[in-house]
Amino acid sequence: MSSLIGSPPETGATTPTAVPARQGLSAGRARTARRGLRVLAAVVVLGVAWALIAPNYPSFVFPTPADVWASFTRAVERGVWVEQVIATLGHLGSAFAIVLVAGLPLGILIGRSIIAEDLSRVVLVFFQTVPTVVLIALALAIYGISDESVIGVTVAGSITYFLLNVIQGTRAIDRDLVDMARAYHANETTIMRTVVVPSVIPYFLAGARITLGVAWQITLFSEYLMGSAGIGFNVNTAISLLDTSTVFMWGLSVVALTLLVEYGLFRPVERRLTRHMRRT
């Protein structure tokens, strides 16, 4: 989901070829501004269309922007909004951190060792194909309704996306560079630190981005079905009361949060980690 955001020339920034070559700096800036304006225009048009069409329907079918805004201010005033957002970000952040911390060494191990690959294949295929609903049912049976259940399901449901990227990145490591390091008597730890990990970083970032998108979906889904705290649970409560404007409110809140994570966290980290690929 977060992987879909952003204007085309920026999205694939994980490969060197996707970095646009230097063009006239001011011309480039003017083009960026023009494109930004177009995106803004589309937002305004959609908003106006929403405001014009919604009043023709009952509020529980298609709430107006004003209904949704009222629902938002109410949730913020009652402290529900911040509380629930924190709960969901807690689930998501914990699961994402576990995936990254466990997935990077695991992925490198599987990518480098045929034995590890063969041994892990069944597990990988299982997690890749098992329906999230089944994971949720299993989590309910094991942990009951709890934060651990939501986090566990999110980890189990999203880690393969990350692993597959890291494995691919490990396989794509330039053997020549490893041989070079070996010829200069670098030991295995040094090779890992100076050659392997930096090589995997673009794949790490691509995998992290896909994983984050998937993890958002699974977290909300689990919250909805398991009835623990969080945005998903609140959507469930709201729709059972036919409070559609609150459902809209949470939907738009998630969109805003995703954008915030993407531009506030992901892009700056990515820019820092791939700075050697930029043309100056």
Task: Provide, rounded to whole angstroms, the least separation between the CB of residue 213 and another protein.
Answer: 26
Q: How far is the CB of 195 from another protein (least distance, A)?
A: 7
CB 67 within 8 A of CB 50: no
Minimal distance in Å, beta carbon 121 to another protein? Answer: 24
DSSP 8-state secondary structure symbol assigned to residue 195? I
Least distance from another protein to the Cβ atom of residue 261, Å: 25
Residue with tokens 């695991």, as numbered in its chain: 106
Tally of CA atoms within 13 A in the half-sphere of 150 that contains its CB: 29
The interface with another protein within residues 181-220 (CB under 8 A) comprises 181-186, 190, 194-195, 198, 201
Q: What is the dihedral of CA 231, 234, 235, 237, to 10 degrees?
A: 160
Q: Please, what is the minimum distance in Å from the beta carbon of residue 179 to another protein?
A: 5
SS3 labels along 58-87: CCCCCCCHHHHHHHHHHHHHCCHHHHHHHH
219, 92 in Cβ contact below 8 A?
yes
Residues 61-80 that bind another protein (CB under 8 A): none
Q: Centre a 10 Å sphere on the Cβ of residue 227 and count the other Cβ atoms it contains.
A: 14
The reply on whether position 277 binds another protein by CB under 8 A is yes
Smallest distance, another protein to C-beta of residue 180, A: 4
Binding mask 7-46 for another protein (x = CB under 8 A): ---------x------------------------------
Backbone angles phi, psi at 24, to 5 degrees: -50, 125
Nearest in space to 254 (alpha carbons), one of 36, 71, 40, 88: 88
State which residue, 136 or 200, has the beta carbon closest to another protein. 200
Taking CB under 8 A as the criterion, the residue among 27, 176, 240, 272 binding another protein is 176
What x/- string results for residues 117 through 156 when contact with another protein is judged by CB under 8 A?
----------------------------------------
DSSP letter string, 162-209: HHHHHHHHHHTS-HHHHHHHHHTT--HHHHIIIIIHHHHHHHHHHHHH
Binding residue (CB under 8 A) for another protein from 179, 188, 263, 265 = 179
List residues near another protein by CB under 8 A.
16, 176-177, 179-186, 190, 194-195, 198, 201, 276-277, 279-280
